[in-house]
Amino acid sequence: MSIILKIYRKEIEVENHPDKTILDLARNKGIFITSSCGGQGKCGRCLVNLLEGRFLIGDKEIITSGSRPHKALSCRTRVKGEHAVIEIPQESLIELSGKIIDDFTLKYYDYDPPTKKYCLHVPQAVLENQASDRQRMEEEIVKLPSIKNIQIPLQVLQKLPDALVQGDQTITVTLGCINDYWSMIDIESGDTTQILYSIAVDIGTTTVVGGLIDLNREEIIGRASLYNQQMTVAEDVISRISSITSHKELDLLKSLVIDETINPIIKYLGSTYNVKSKDISRIALSGNTVMIHLLLGLDPQSIGKVPFQPVIKKPGSFLATDIGLEIASHGIVDIMPSVSGYIGGDITSDIYVSKLHEEKELSLLIDIGTNGEIVMCENGNMVACSTAAGPAFEGYGLYHGCRATKGAIEKIVFDNEKNIEIKIIGDNKASGICGTGVIDFMAEGLRIGLLNQSGRLNEELLKELQLGYIIKDNGRNIKACIIARNEYSALNEPIVISEADISKILQAKAAVYAGIKVLLEMQNKTWRDINKLILTGGFGKNINPGNAASIGLLPPVPAERVEVIGNGSLGGAYLALIESDAINTMNEISAKIDVIELNMQENFQEHYIDAIFLPNRNKEDF
């Protein structure tokens, strides 16, 4: 039986299983087709070309030949015959390289790690005092400052006799604080106090970033990142929940994030910086609520339906052996607390890193992605909401949209003569436009009169600038603006932004701004009362705040009031490993936040409609 998958100019032979879809066959061979809906046949992004063979599409059997290829959804199509040839277009493949944000800005911190090493000299046993090895060791430990209430796992205790012999009664114990007790992580012979490491991890829906911390040097000595391999099953949070509902893939999703994503990051950092896994004593993980559920093997389906209730919000700490993370076997795993089903531990980390919870004057924290999380604080009182911005800011659904990957146009400017200037990630030819580029275009287009308040293109100016383009779509002609001409395009056509693209961005930005307005009005405030605007995450790091404000995505606060913290989720995990009270404070923060459900707020829809316009139909706001 010969099943051939054609990708670019390569042909890959795969083994057929009649009960598996083409999407599954490709995945088993390490070929990752986009599937935003979790394989439910709804998103239409897993299209393949059936060139030759007999296929079953849903309940309908078809036969194709080279002269009559057929487009089909790979998640709904199975191979029925002995031979088949299937072409997977480039646009149907998941992009597994990109611009990943792995840095963050800290304000201040109190360096006192909750994991410590102590070198002890344990007196020899004598006939006059027949105290056990454990008792004599603990008598030395209690002499240490602030170390009380020690718990020793059996497998760690089993190391004690040999360590005493090998070290000539000198041993090193590694202790980790969990709430009000200290758990013994390891016992080693001799003095190994100079070897003490931890790892901070941000588990994003798309990317996972890890930082290796040398606790003796008080710094991150290395970083590594990977795309979250759960993307091979489904790309966004809702789709991953759907894949559990329809395909019972909870165990697979757990394995993909642990075995195929986090553990490879740990191994890479260890091998690159010559650190053994047994010397990594603690790991802290920060991520949205669904990602944490999948990591722990907890079914997140309740988060996907009213009342959006998670199984847990404060996971606490675990041992590495309980989760399967490849650090010291009795190393400690800390997980940042969530606020709700859609306000996760990544946002709690953002708040803690930015010190939003300490702000006396009105301050706003915004993390823009597929969801837009917004937290408002005044005098320590915090209220938050999550708004479904959709994937447009990440390039999804746009004609030439893409993630912030190599070849993406990330910045667009019109000069004084209205000539277009672009910046491409990687400085190669352009293969698409990412979200920051589209926002730049809309802001610049509005400024020079290329766009009107409704997001429509000025046909006369397009013609004058020779940037006009028509997209033919199901018999419709859609106006577009050329951003990169053929000579600068990696595709066989110009890179363009269409009016349909602009409409999708308008809907996404309207959802975010309407959420901001609702929170402000709850406190009888306007954007003019905002003392500080904090932007977090990869999008917030790369966005031009002025352009975002000029199109009505962000409030138009003065530039000096805008603060960008980068990957606050990773920063929160880092602080959990170097500050003894960080997690307790984050638990307190998460418990104090009032969550507002926007769909229950009468004024949300009104503000959303106003914000569909550029920059806003309500001219008092801009």
Whether residues 147 and 203 share a domain: the answer is: no
Whether residues 363 and 281 share a domain: the answer is: no
Boundary (domain end) residue, out of 498, 523, 555: 498
Query: Which one, of 182, 185, 165, lies nearest residue 173 by Cα?
Result: 185
167 in Cβ contact with 133 (< 8 Å): no
pTM: predicted TM-score of the whole model, two decimal places:
0.85
Q: How far apart are CA 57 and CA 24, in angstroms?
A: 14
Residue 380 backbone zone (phi > 0: left; psi -120 to 50: alpha; other: beta): left
**Chain segment 483-517, per-residue pLDDT in tens:** 999 999 988 899 999 999 999 999 999 999 999 99
Q: How far apart are CA 118 and CA 90, in angstroms?
A: 55
Residue with more model confidence, 465 or 41: 465
Q: How many domains does the chain have?
A: 5
**Chain segment 271-304, per-residue pLDDT in tens:** 999 999 999 999 999 999 999 999 999 999 999 9
| 84-90 average pLDDT score | 87
Q: How far apart are CA 11 and CA 21, in angstroms?
A: 19
On the CB side of 371, CA atoms within 13 Å amount to 23
109 DSSP β-pair partners: none
Integer CA distances (angstroms), 209 to 1, 36, 201, 213, 343, in order: 41, 22, 6, 13, 20
Whether residues 218 and 124 share a domain: the answer is: no
**Is pLDDT of 67 > 80?**
no
Only one residue has tokens 């260890």, namely 270
**Chain segment 508-525, per-residue pLDDT in tens:** 999 999 999 999 999 999
**Is pLDDT of 122 > 60?**
yes
Query: For residue 480, what are its two tokens?
Result: 């577009």
Query: For residue 116, what are its two tokens?
Result: 């410590």
Residue with more model confidence, 98 or 29: 29
**Chain segment 541-594, per-residue pLDDT in tens:** 889 999 999 999 999 999 999 999 999 999 999 999 999 999 999 999 999 999
Query: Which one, of 478, 449, 488, 452, lies nearest residue 465 by Cα?
Result: 449
Neighbour-count burial of 244, counting CB atoms closer than 10 A to its CB (0-12 exposed, 13-18 middle, 19+ buried):
buried
The answer to whether residue 99 is domain-embedded is no
**Chain segment 425-443, per-residue pLDDT in tens:** 987 889 899 999 999 999 9
For residue 146, name the pLDDT band (cuts at 50, 70, 90): confident
User: Mean pLDDT of all residues in the chain?
Assistant: 92
Instruction: Give the domain extent around 490.
Output: 405-498
Q: How far apart are CA 228 and CA 284, in angstroms?
A: 17
Q: How far apart are CA 436 and CA 439, in angstroms?
A: 5
For residue 10, name the pLDDT band (cuts at 50, 70, 90): confident
Q: How far apart are CA 222 and CA 270, in angstroms?
A: 9
Instruction: Calculate ∠ Cα 484-488-489, nearest 5°.
Output: 75
- Kindly write down the DSSP assignment for every residue of 165-187, as one continuous string: HHTTTEEEEEEEEETTEEEEEEE
Domain of 590, CATH number, reads 3.30.420
The answer to whether residue 107 is domain-embedded is no
Residue 136 has a pLDDT of 95
Whether residues 130 and 256 share a domain: the answer is: no
The answer to whether residue 108 is domain-embedded is no
Domain of 319, CATH number, reads 3.30.420.480
Report residue 406: phi and psi, to 5°: -55, 130
Whether residues 387 and 512 share a domain: the answer is: yes
Domain of 73, CATH number, reads 3.10.20.30
**Chain segment 213-251, per-residue pLDDT in tens:** 999 999 999 999 988 889 878 878 888 999 898 888 999
**Residue type at 506 in one-letter notation:** L
**Is pLDDT of 317 > 90?**
yes
The residues near 16 (Cβ < 8 Å, ≥ 6 apart) are 1, 3, 25, 79, 84
Whether residues 211 and 171 share a domain: the answer is: no
